[in-house]
Amino acid sequence: MRPLSARSRGRRGQTLVETALVLPLFLAVITAILTFGIWIFYQQQIATVAREAARYAAVHSASSDCPVGGWLAPAPGAVPNGAGPWNCDSASAGWPTMTGEARKFAFGLSAADVRVTACWAGYHDSSNTAIYDSGPIFANDGVTPNPWVDCTMDGGTNPLTDTSTLPCPATTSSPSAPGLLDGDDQASNLAVSDRELAVAANRVVVYACYNWGPPLAGFVFIPHNVVIRAVFSEGLQHQK
């Protein structure tokens, strides 16, 4: 029979071995849970940013005091008197006002690293698809449906269907000449897109993203960079 002191040392040795085997697994599980929880929280924040940016752009359509504009101008005479320049907060400048307002909702994130991109979608005229800002029904007969055309980002990617393929930040391209539809926008920021039908047909699509470096990146297969993305679309609202 072994002495009591020898048995105590044996138990301590067994405990150390068990701890050495279990502790790394325990820490890995806890780290994975914490990282996943932070990711879910950040995903919610970016979704809120996209939603709030889309709402801001929808309210600040071409008929507002300082519209959020893309690359396509509304048809001459379509914007009511008293509205501000149709692209007061412009795509060429990176929408500083819309982006600034949206970043206010990025709680817990580095606001300066939250990126926002917008594009505009709408109906094209069925008799001449080079004409944008049409209503859902061909105005000449009131029966024929006009085709709806989604806007794109980053040279042809539909943000509503291919969100995961967009880089962060994404970009939108201007048409090769004013009024052409070979850029990413397929409509202007005009809310009432057909005077005869008086419908709010055009929509803005906003993509928000954030490049996140998770804590303990590289530990237990945690990646060094995660792109958190969200897309939200909103119908434009007439203001004047």
- The whole-number pLDDT of residue 194 equals 55
Instruction: List, for residues 103-135, the tens digit of each pLDDT value.
Output: 999 988 899 999 999 999 999 999 999 999 988
Domain ranges of the chain: 10-235
Q: pLDDT-derived band of residue 224, with 50, 70 and 90 as boundaries?
A: confident
Q: Which residue in this structure is represented by tokens 């995903």?
A: 43
